[in-house]
Amino acid sequence: MTFEQLPDEALFEACRQGELRAFEHLLQRHRQPLYNFVCWQIGSSVVADGLLHEVFLRVLEEVRSKKQRASFKTLLYVIARDLCLRESSQANNLGDRHQKGPTRRIQNAIEELAIEEREVFLLREYLDLSFAQIAEIVGCDRKTVKERMRNALERLRQEVV
């Protein structure tokens, strides 16, 4: 079996055994979806680039720690979420991120969601994670995740219609 065919967990275990090519495959496999998630959370591609590098550095630290705390994908998005929250709290005045025009209407509406609702919406709709996976990433129960998703969808419907 080649690295491309291995599931994330097998690649992560290979990383723990010192196989750097396995980490390269994980990075390649998750780079774009993770970048999209971080970009949506932060609203800046420049900042997202830096955070993406930091996420993968922290994942490498987890590889070196040899402690299996969660699935690879959960670990990846927990780290990304934490860094995004930190970045958001440090940014006092980002200026007006909102552009005008019909092509930005949905994006602006998503950016206006409360962060808890936005992250659930993005993890579900753009990364196709289950409610159970999202609950593990954001640290709450599935019922709360479903409620946040329902609220996000309702707010988006009100904004876009």
Kindly indicate the confidence band of residue 96, based on its pLDDT and cuts at 50, 70 and 90: very low
Kindly indicate the confidence band of residue 92, based on its pLDDT and cuts at 50, 70 and 90: very low
- CA distances (Å), origin 29, targets 22, 91, 100, 115: 11, 30, 34, 26
Which residues, 6+ apart, have CB-to-CB distance to 98 below 8 Å? Answer: 104, 108, 111
Task: Give CA–CA dist 34/39, Å, rounded.
Answer: 8
> In the chain, what are the domains?
1-95 (1.10.1740.10), 97-161 (1.10.10.10)
Residue indicated by tokens 């209407």: 105
pTM: 0.76
**73, pLDDT greater than 70:** yes
18: left (phi over 0), alpha (psi -120 to 50) or beta: left
